[in-house]
Amino acid sequence: MSTAKKSNSYRLRMLTTTAMLGAMAGLLMLIEFPLGFIAPSFYKIDLSEVPVMIGAFAFGPIQGIVIELIKILIKLILKGTSTGFVGELANFIVGVAMVVPASVIYKRKKTKKHAIIGMMISTVVMAVVGVFLNAYVMIPMYAAFMPIEQIVEAGKAIIPWVKDTFTFCLFCVLPFNLLKGIIVSVIVAIIYKPLSRLIRKGL
């Protein structure tokens, strides 16, 4: 096969796989559940970052961002928004904060060790970004749907150390995102290798 044909074949495989992974992520985003022992029930975890991370590892950080965007669009088409797009925007930014560092590190050296290191670092990055994003952008925006005092009180009912918006994000949002990142990372570490063979052949 000529270089041009190989290049076209790769692009086609990348585009079709990106679309499929985005659709899978969008569907997984609909299956969510609360972690009531860490954060109030309006914070729900899903596994939609798993296909996003797989795509980012396979094709790079830019495709990871594209899959993340497709995921959000699929979710909005299928379910719409109950938060005035605040939840979807937060999910997109936090998802990108997790996927990009991991895929950049993995792209430099494609070994399981670097994948794990990348996901560990990206989990911390995502969690830290989530704290400041929620404290200074998302929760003030979400106040149009629920008073900030009510949000803080919901967190205080679970974690007594919660006193204000920032401590809510520190003691509820931070561990919530850390746990989410760990769960996603473990799943990706287990399934990526066999899936990568299918991706190379074309899903």
Quick one: pLDDT at residue 201? 61
Quick one: pLDDT at residue 60? 93
Least confident of 12-16, 51-55, 75-79, 154-158: 12-16
Angle (CA) 124-127-131 rounded to 5° is: 140
Task: Say yes or no to pLDDT of 4 above 70.
Answer: no
- For 75-122, the three-class secondary structure string (H helix, E strand, C coil) is HHHHHCCCCCCHHHHHHHHHHHHHHHHHHHHHHHCCCHHHHHHHHHHH
Quick one: pLDDT at residue 36? 86
| Of 39, 41, 42, 33, the residue nearest 156 (C-alpha) | 39
The pair of three-digit structure tokens given for residue 188, joined into one six-digit string: 């990706």
Distance of CA 33 to the CA centre of its chain: 15
Global confidence as pTM: 0.90
Residue ranges of domains in the chain, CATH in brackets: 3-201 (1.10.1760.20)
Task: Say yes or no to pLDDT of 185 above 60.
Answer: yes
Largest distance between two CA atoms of the chain: 65
Residue recorded with tokens 């954060």: 39
| pLDDT tens for each residue of 93-150 | 999 999 999 999 999 988 889 999 999 999 999 999 999 999 999 999 888 888 999 9
The pair of three-digit structure tokens given for residue 116, joined into one six-digit string: 């794990």
DSSP string, the chain: --HHHHHHHHHHHHHHHHHHHHHHHHHHHTS-EE-TTTS-TTSEE--THHHHHHHHHHH-HHHHHHHHHHHHHHHHHHH--SSTTHHHHHHHHHHHHHHHHHHHHHHHS-SHHHHHHHHHHHHHHHHHHHHHHIIIIIHHHHTTTS-HHHHHHHHHTT-TT--SHHHHIIIIIHHHHHHHHHHHHHHHHHHHHHHHHHHHH--
Quick one: pLDDT at residue 84? 82
| pLDDT tens for each residue of 47-95 | 999 999 999 999 999 999 999 999 999 999 999 988 888 889 999 999 9
